A and B are shown apart, each in its own frame.
Chain A
Amino acid sequence: MARLALKRLLAAIPTLFGAIVVVFFVVQLIPGDPVRVMLGENASAAEVEEVRTALGLNDPLPVQFLRFAGRYATGDLGVSIFSRQPVAGEIAQRLAPTVQLALGGVLVAIVLGVPMGVLAAARRGTLVDHLCLGASTLGVTVPNFLIGILLSFAFASKLGWFPTLGAGTGGFWSTLNALVLPSLTLGLAGMALVARMTRSAMIEALGEDYVRTANAKGLSQRRVVYWHALRNAAIPIVTIVGLNFGHLLGGTVVVELIFARPGLGKLLLDALLARDYPVVQGVCFLIAVLFILVNLIVDLLQPLLDPRVQP
């Protein structure tokens, strides 16, 4: 297990390097001069030139890149052009609401999606199955900004059960309360996907010979379905949830905007609009790191779920 973890960690290094390359060069492609943005329209050409040289922006791209990669390798993500604060610090402040939101979304996707898929598979071809399929089609096709606005309108504005905006006032219950609607908004699309995946994995598992054996042993239907079959179906489900996590992280940007949560997505969006490139680069890099981390966890879960995968 430890060996597998080490192997996967080492394998993550090239991926991280790739993320640094992309983050660096994508910003080079954005038209406009960051120094011009920084100093404003009234700065003289000489001033601009001076700052450019000071920041090393006149050096050849490969030199700039090596310097950039070197900084990232030591954990220095640069300084925000606007707040003049270290990017790492800005991200650290905004990380918690986003991680909470992402975990909330995954939880919604799993807690609602898996039972729905199992139910649909166990009652295949019946009304229950069709309802589950219909609901999951709706979940995939309706964009999350619409779901967010509808949920916010119904449960926050009309019923007043949850706050419309923000990430709570700090306490545990307040944080949790403020997390419900955004998590639902983020998780419903994931739920639909997980439900579909679970349904097909369960239909396959329920047709296997070992399910017949479990029935022949005299086990209860519940035990056959939720233990013998689901335990096998969990293998593809976990993989899908992991792969879908990146999609989910992207979704946090929209959801944080709708519910005005002070998270990474909000930070990224503000930075993009203000052309605060170091912050944009830092947030993108961090999202890549989170994605790699989740994939690592999924990889490490495989041998625990499936004994045939050698650790």
Chain B
Amino acid sequence: MTTPAPLLSVRDLTVEFRRDRSWLRALHGVSFDVFEGETVGVVGESGSGKSVTVQSLMGLLPARSSRLAAGSAVFAGRDILRLPRRELRRIRGKDIAMVFQDPMSSLNPVFTVGYQIAEAIREHNPGLSRETLRERTLAVLSRVELPHPAQAFSTFPFQFSGGMRQRAMIAMAIANAPRLLIADEPTTALDVTIQAQVMQVLQQARGTGSAMLLITHDMGLVAEATDRVIVMYAGRVIETGTTAEVFAAPRHPYTRGLLASRPKLAAAGGRLTPIPGSPPNIASLPGGCAFHPRCALHERHRDPICVDTVPALLPREGAGLVACHLTHLLGSAQREMETT
């Protein structure tokens, strides 16, 4: 069996931001694939480059203060990082659509929800009659399970609750049946009680036809919703693999830290296990492996290679990749951790 060509193939994506008179590198050669119909999670702490990655794919980074230093992103046969603006516009909102984190600020406050969804449909289907446009908008609104679609149509965003706003956002994104849906922390700004509902709507409404890139720092969400996972740290991919394998046997100390820091019901009342230290500042990244100052493995083994050399992404056991010099030492460490 030959592997099918990926829907989206990102290679060596390198993005820089201007600070004062110099350029700071936010992404250092990020590569990954998304295949037709699958859900891929992208996880990492704030500042790890998750959002920058997807926004650069959509051409949404500020033109004046950011630049593409290297890399390509081939979507359906074309490099979307180098498309003329006009061509990119045809893909945005049609073939690739996006759901943003904060539905309050992401919806235009002065237009009705129906208008904003209809606008997305009309942009990519010029010549639709008013009635057809309205019908299709109402159909999309009922797909995200908004009660009383006709009423929701003429409602302003501020009259909606947070969950309903995010449903409206999802409706706008799926309106043109995109082949790739990018959801950038779609539940982070919502009440915990409705996060699951909104996630369910997102999964159902997009249907089977589209692939999804789910950006989150919620490992629970990744476990539930994704087929594969990409772990990012300081602007690099440090581990990838199927969600099942990565969760069962993380091969990078950082991934392991992320998984260990999840609150667990079984350990109710116990203390959370944090990753020591804080995410690095991209203006002054540590040399070698950017994670080494916070790494338990490095602390134990003090291997100078961690400080000197950036680890390459190499095949790990199973179907994934990992970028850690000391990953071979991790097995014993895991047993160690489990016994304590």
Contact = CB atoms under 8 A, between A and B. Distances in A.
A214 interface: yes
A210 B89 contact: no
Contact of B172 (A209, A217, A306): A217
B94 A218 contact: yes
Interface string B98-120: 10101001111111000000011
Nearest to A306: B110
A216 B97 contact: yes
Contacts of B119: 217, 219
A128 B163 CA distance: 42
Contact of B158 (A208, A213, A228, A307): A307
B86 to A, nearest CB: 9
Given A216-B60, A216-B97, A216-B98, A228 B108 contact: yes
Interface string A189-222: 0000000000000000000111011111111110
Contacts, number: 74
Contacts of A216: 58, 60, 92-93, 97-98, 100
Contacts of B64: 124-125
B123 interface: yes
B124 interface: yes
A210 B108 contact: yes
A218 B109 contact: no
B91 interface: yes
Contact of A217 (B110, B123, B158): B123
Given A213-B100, A218-B91, A307 B106 contact: no
Interface residues of A, number: 22
A178 B185 CA distance: 61
Given A217-B93, A307-B156, A209 B123 contact: no
A294 B97 CA distance: 44
A217 B107 CA distance: 12
A232 B109 contact: yes
A103 B219 CA distance: 61
Interface string A215-249: 11111110000001001100000000000000000
A305 interface: yes
A213 B169 CA distance: 9
A219 B100 CA distance: 17
Nearest to B169: A213
A218 B90 contact: yes
A308 interface: yes
Nearest to B110: A231
Chain A CB within 10 A, most for which of B85, B119, B169: B119
A217 B108 contact: no
Nearest to A229: B108
B293 to A, nearest CB: 34
Nearest to B175: A217
A306 to B, nearest CB: 6
Contacts of B156: 307-308
A208 B172 contact: no
A232 B110 contact: yes
Contact of B107 (A124, A210, A215): A210
A218 B124 contact: yes
Contacts of A209: 100, 102, 105-106
A197 to B, nearest CB: 18
Contacts of B94: 218
Contacts of A208: 105
Contacts of A218: 89-94, 120, 123-124
A214 to B, nearest CB: 7
A219 B109 contact: no
Given A124-B64, A232-B110, 9 more contacts: A210-B106, A210-B108, A213-B106, A213-B169, A215-B59, A216-B92, A218-B89, A228-B111, A231-B111
Pairs of residues from A and B, 4 with the lowest C-beta to C-beta distance, nearest first = A218-B93, A218-B92, A217-B93, A209-B105
30 contacts: A209-B100, A209-B105, A209-B106, A210-B106, A212-B60, A213-B98, A213-B107, A213-B108, A214-B108, A215-B58, A215-B60, A215-B92, A216-B92, A216-B97, A217-B97, A217-B120, A218-B90, A218-B91, A218-B93, A218-B94, A218-B120, A219-B93, A221-B85, A231-B108, A231-B110, A232-B110, A307-B156, A307-B158, A308-B109, A308-B156
Interface of A: 124-125, 208-210, 212-221, 228, 231-232, 305-308
